[in-house]
Structure 1
Amino acid sequence: MPSQVRDIADEFLATLHPYDSLPSDARSELAASLVSVEASKGQQIYTVGAPLEGLYLIVSGEVEIHEPNGALVSILGPRNSFGERGLMRDGLAATSAQTVSDTLLYIVPSEVFLRLIRDSADFARFFNRSRAANTSADTLYTLPVSDLMTRDPATCGPETELVAAARVMRDRRISCLVVTEGDRPIGILTTRDLTDKALAEGLAGATPVAQVMTVDPVALTPDALCADVLHQMLERHIGHLPIVEGERLVGIVTQTDLTRHRAISSGGMIRQIADAGDPAALAGVVTRIPDLLVHLVAAGSRHDIVTRLVTDVADAATRRLLALAEAQLGAPPVPYLWLACGSQGRREQTGVSDQDNCLILGAAARAEDMEYFQALARFVSDGLDVCGYYHCPGEMMATNPRWCQPLPVWRDYFAGWIRKPDPMAQMLASVMFDLRPIGGEIGLYGQLIAETLEQASLNSIFVAHMIANSVKHVPPLSLFRSFATIRSGEHKDSVDLKLNGVVPVVDLARIYAIQSKLQVVNTRDRLLAAAETDALSPSGARDLIDAYDLIAATRLHHQVGCIQAGKKPDNFMIPGTLSDLERSHLRDAFVVVKTMQSALAHGKAMIL
């Protein structure tokens, strides 16, 4: 093997993911196929629409990436790559690239890159930006142990007295303690050991656990599959398995964990919700949403499937609260419709959500009927708050009399926002165009939204103002640092994957829906439907959907990581927690969103 190839394979590719996952001989073969290109400052690498030679890896120097309209969107440095989006779509460049300084590049030839995508799971995972569902017949069998194990398990030393160990297990409601010396597990003590080996034999409470524990328990590593856990348990008749890295204890998996995983499903939760007799009982079910989120993401479910199922739980809880309210208050005096807006309206709820809702009442509603509906709204809204869907800080709820009105008033609301699109009207319209019926008389909404979309699509001034409002949330891109992170405060050095990640796409999709009179409210569905109209080109739709899928999936994976670390899920991710290629993909996704925002804003300027 030539020394230069060996250096590339061992010193560059071996330190760059996912190339480091390749066997050494495959990595050497890849290194031998690379084309080395030296480009001088200001040299054009490729232009929009040009055939791509392959995937470009930056060894040294810097490269500018430009939008089709010439706008500079990012400057890439060493270890970054570019060109993969065009390669995976049609082999043509979606942007243009030009060097900022003297630059050394390696080109992975197109056929080599596409073969790696086809043959390597790591490459498919990191370069497939749609992150399609990776389901299997039995997700428990294929689930990594790291996604199921309990981290930081309870431990004790070998000299700990049995009575002290029993009290810890009782107080923490756990079935075992791992006995350790330092970080190394040397035994395990279970509740069965306490009964069969200690209590049944009449041992004193002061007996050290070392005399009762199972010595040198079978252990697995975090990269094992849950199938390995299950097989060990069945073969050895055990119910607890420590998880180690080297000799260091990092977690434990129990039979209860396996059972709980199989029991978690949105269908099971909804069945329990339907039987709940009060808000407290509902809360007991809804509080398991973090477990459901972890379960669905670990099973490889696509992000829009995950959020749809999580939202279904909120819908069921809302309808159950409406039924409980009517049971307490009596039959409503006129027909009504409870609607959700925001993330619940779009069926995009994750592990973090407040409540946004409203009531549309039948046209025959009288002033004296309002007392009933205000009581119903308070019951449902307070019940949702108990369940963890906290009250909206902006009072965008049915408890606010403004959002609990007869149908004619709602018609006037929408007509007024469209006729006079001042900043407040733009904000309210953005929220209310995401309405979705949850419970009640659905006929109160169908005609209203059809009329409203017709009026809105025909009013170019309203559309232009809505576009201006929609591009206020921009992707977190920095020309020189790739990501524009939060500079100070609690979330310093992180990016907000909601406000600067999914929200810009949500806003774009809403504009396309208004322009094309689309009644769907889910963001991904809006983009798919817009691709069938003049509002969005097929290629633009593909790019934006791919970008949205990656951003939304990254947000979900971050929230799952928070949950697994024992924290409340949030939207603030530190880019440094991602691999180089993951950061590169996320950056590219943000570039797509910014490009689409620029195109939409340009169209708005033409209108005005």
Structure 2
Amino acid sequence: MEAIDALISVLHPYDTLSEDERARVVRSFARSQLPEGAMIYTRGQILDGLYIVENGAVEITDANGALVSLLERGNSFGERGLLADGRAVTTARMARTGTVLLLPAAEFRRLIAESPDFARFFERGGRERSGRGGPDVATLKISDILTRSPVTTEPTTPIREAARIMREAKISSLGITDPDGRLLGLVTIRDMSNRVVAEGLDLQAPVSTIMTSDPVTLPPDALGSDVLHAMIERSIGHLPVIEAGRLVGMVTQTDLTRLQAISTSVLIHDVAGAETVEQMAEVTARIPDLLVSLVAGHQRHEVVTRLITDIADAVTRRLLAMAQDKLGPAPAAWLWAACGSQGRQDQTGVSDQDNVLILSDEANPDDPWFAELARFVSDGLNTCGYVYCPGDMMATNPRWGQPRRVWRKYFADWIANPSPEAQMLASVMFDLRAIGGDASLLAGLQSETLAMASANSIFVAHMISNSLKHQPPLGLIRGFATIRSGQHQGHIDMKMNGVVPVADLARVYALKGQLTPVNTRARLEAAEAAGVISGSGARDLIAAYDLIQTLRLQNQAHLVRAGRKPDNYLSPADLADFERSHLRDAFVVVRTMQSALGQGRGVLG
């Protein structure tokens, strides 16, 4: 028992248990000494409980016998099956002689029910509250409100130099600290006006002569309501944030106003009222702040991406209206449709543009009206931060501004002759979503294409093969396959190796089931409801997708708060141990589903 206690006392989440509770858990474990090659459990077998490697090594394989993980001391396995129907979803075998510990299933479930930390660790993809727009500032923690590191200076700094620091940093308050970072006082723009300019003080005097000593402070875990109350009660506009005696941030009235003003409804209202493209660009420049506030408010990832995509839709429609005002009536019916992340309604803080024009069969695609419409809108989107598609998948490309009959022929040719280019183009175009114009031009085309594609087994096979090209970044020994060189060395591309593999799988499921949703998560849910994918497979894949997208958005929000542009590159080293463990588990689920699809067992595995 002492050896077991020594092991789990340093493992999360067991290290969160009280001493008495941990002692009970330790007594519940059973130990088995097993030789190399011994089978611990096989896929589909009822699990006796949760396993932990005490020493030796255990290999985990999927339904096709492919190696998923090689586990060593401290790694646990079996939780996925226990949290589903109690049956193993993988096979576990001793790769090297050693011992494994078994926590009985009943004890595991008791801990899940009674320990929030235990439940959070093992239950991947927890569902957060949903909502429209920005978060409630009053309920946010100060640590979620802070947007930059504090700017400070020493008490002996001359007043003139302190004013220069504030001007160059574009801040309204300056922390006065000692060499250890402990807060001594605070100087604001108001102090510069009332205590320096109005009184005619010597600008070479130390800034300590005008600072407010021992100002009101709050800790990072205080709530926004605490900030509001303190500011109202004391008539102050700046509040230092102190942790362990050191200044870690500054919250201002401007910060609170900015958060309260940043919501989807406000941004869309401002877009709709914009008179110029430049005014719209000023609105879309606030999207990173919206991303930060939504993530801070613990909105679900599909809510965050939908709200951000709603703004892109509003910008596109406003540009279409502005173009029509400039060009006059259209010569024939048309539809502007988005594909890519906008089409799937999963845009984040970084997006390019992917769009097409579908014209009525009566339209002349060479009419300059359509080319001018496409150029105006595409240029406007680029100005607003939705940069030109590097693959030229835009309505400005004559190939993607054609009558409906041509689009029908495109899809028929891609399906009949599934070359690599045809597979790529079909994958993109299956994600089309109507944005502005005559939506009926797409509706019938989509249903026809789905029926045609799903009936062609060769095309479906090629689409399945195409969906397996993007692999999750899994390393062999409980790690990740990170980028090996260049600017993003040591990072994971959370889009191409995280989100895209799931989006590709969901597209195949939608194709096989002739399902009309375009959003990835909605496709997975529809595939489960239609029986295209098993309930357990759907739940695992949705949970994996939820975690991947959530960590992707949290990382983007972190970059924005650090003053950097958001991107899709995440360093596993920046994650806590339990986040790394769950992220890898999520990638394992994705690879397992890819393997099932590739082995021809369909999507019911």
TM-score by length of 1: 0.94
Once the two structures are overlaid, the 10-residue window that deviates more, 298-307 or 64-73, is 64-73
Counterpart of 2:476 in structure 1 is 479
Counterpart of 1:360 in structure 2 is 358
Counterpart of 2:303 in structure 1 is 305
Which aligned pairs between 1:195-594 and structure 2 lie closer than 5 A? 195-366=193-364, 368-369=366-367, 371-594=368-591
CA positional deviation for 1:33: 3.6
CA contact 1:57–1:107 (8 Å) conserved in 2: yes
Q: What SS does the corresponding residue of 2:374 show, helix, strand or coil?
A: helix
Aligned partner (choices 159, 167, 170) of residue 170 of structure 1: 167
CA contact 2:135–2:296 (8 Å) conserved in 1: no
- Distance change in 2, residues 1:262/1:30 (3 Å): farther
Please give the per-residue CA displacement for 1:399-440, whole angstroms capped at 9, x wherever unaligned.
101001111111111111111111111110000000000011
| Structure 1 alignment gaps of length 5 or more | none
What is the count of residue pairs matched by the alignment? Answer: 600
Aligned AA for 2:528? A
Aligned AA for 1:296? L
Please give the per-residue CA displacement for 1:147-172, whole angstroms capped at 9, x wherever unaligned.
21133212122122323323333343
- Distance change in 2, residues 1:28/1:205 (3 Å): farther
Looking at structure 2, the residues matched to 83 and 550 of structure 1 have their Cα atoms a distance apart, in angstroms, of 19
Counterpart of 2:116 in structure 1 is 121
- Distance change in 2, residues 1:517/1:293 (3 Å): same
Once the two structures are overlaid, the 10-residue window that deviates more, 384-393 or 142-151, is 142-151
CA contact 1:464–1:604 (8 Å) conserved in 2: no
CA positional deviation for 1:605: 10
Looking at structure 2, the residues matched to 593 and 561 of structure 1 have their Cα atoms a distance apart, in angstroms, of 25
- Distance change in 2, residues 1:221/1:100 (3 Å): farther
CA contact 2:11–2:74 (8 Å) conserved in 1: yes
CA contact 1:135–1:299 (8 Å) conserved in 2: no
Q: What SS does the corresponding residue of 1:527 show, helix, strand or coil?
A: helix
Q: What SS does the corresponding residue of 2:529 show, helix, strand or coil?
A: coil
CA positional deviation for 1:367: 5.0
Aligned partner (choices 592, 595, 603) of residue 595 of structure 1: 592
Please give the per-residue CA displacement for 1:228-287, whole angstroms capped at 9, x wherever unaligned.
333433444332222233233222222221222222111111010000111111111111
Q: What SS does the corresponding residue of 2:517 show, helix, strand or coil?
A: coil
CA contact 2:365–2:402 (8 Å) conserved in 1: no
Q: What SS does the corresponding residue of 1:56 show, helix, strand or coil?
A: strand
Q: What SS does the corresponding residue of 1:73 show, helix, strand or coil?
A: strand
Aligned AA for 1:581? F
| Structure 2 alignment gaps of length 5 or more | none
- Distance change in 2, residues 1:184/1:141 (3 Å): same
Q: What SS does the corresponding residue of 1:449 show, helix, strand or coil?
A: helix
Looking at structure 2, the residues matched to 237 and 120 of structure 1 have their Cα atoms a distance apart, in angstroms, of 43
Looking at structure 1, the residues matched to 572 and 63 of structure 2 have their Cα atoms a distance apart, in angstroms, of 26
CA contact 2:50–2:82 (8 Å) conserved in 1: yes
CA contact 1:81–1:584 (8 Å) conserved in 2: no
Counterpart of 2:183 in structure 1 is 185
Aligned AA for 1:186? L
Q: What SS does the corresponding residue of 2:204 show, helix, strand or coil?
A: coil
CA positional deviation for 1:23: 4.0
CA contact 1:46–1:93 (8 Å) conserved in 2: yes
Looking at structure 2, the residues matched to 495 and 368 of structure 1 have their Cα atoms a distance apart, in angstroms, of 44
CA positional deviation for 1:481: 4.6
Once the two structures are overlaid, the 10-residue window that deviates more, 446-455 or 137-146, is 137-146
- Distance change in 2, residues 1:80/1:225 (3 Å): farther
TM-score by length of 2: 0.94
CA positional deviation for 1:39: 2.9
- Distance change in 2, residues 1:14/1:134 (3 Å): farther
- Distance change in 2, residues 1:155/1:20 (3 Å): same
The answer as to 2:70 corresponding to 1:75 is: yes
Counterpart of 1:94 in structure 2 is 89
Q: What SS does the corresponding residue of 1:62 show, helix, strand or coil?
A: strand
Q: What SS does the corresponding residue of 2:100 show, helix, strand or coil?
A: strand
The answer as to 2:51 corresponding to 1:56 is: yes
- Distance change in 2, residues 1:110/1:232 (3 Å): farther
CA positional deviation for 1:541: 1.3
CA contact 1:75–1:482 (8 Å) conserved in 2: no
Aligned AA for 1:443? S
Counterpart of 1:194 in structure 2 is 192
- Distance change in 2, residues 1:458/1:123 (3 Å): same
Q: What SS does the corresponding residue of 1:107 show, helix, strand or coil?
A: strand
- Distance change in 2, residues 1:396/1:504 (3 Å): same
CA contact 2:135–2:293 (8 Å) conserved in 1: no
- Distance change in 2, residues 1:78/1:570 (3 Å): farther
CA positional deviation for 1:135: 5.9
CA positional deviation for 1:384: 0.8
Looking at structure 2, the residues matched to 142 and 79 of structure 1 have their Cα atoms a distance apart, in angstroms, of 37
- Distance change in 2, residues 1:138/1:514 (3 Å): closer
CA positional deviation for 1:8: 5.1
CA contact 1:297–1:306 (8 Å) conserved in 2: yes
- Distance change in 2, residues 1:601/1:230 (3 Å): same
Please give the per-residue CA displacement for 1:35-61, whole angstroms capped at 9, x wherever unaligned.
334333222222222222332233332
CA positional deviation for 1:104: 3.3
Aligned AA for 1:64? E
Once the two structures are overlaid, the 10-residue window that deviates more, 225-234 or 380-389, is 225-234
Looking at structure 1, the residues matched to 280 and 317 of structure 2 have their Cα atoms a distance apart, in angstroms, of 11
Aligned AA for 1:161? P
Looking at structure 1, the residues matched to 138 and 23 of structure 2 have their Cα atoms a distance apart, in angstroms, of 34
Q: Percent identity between the aligned chains?
A: 56
- Distance change in 2, residues 1:33/1:151 (3 Å): farther
CA contact 2:337–2:434 (8 Å) conserved in 1: yes
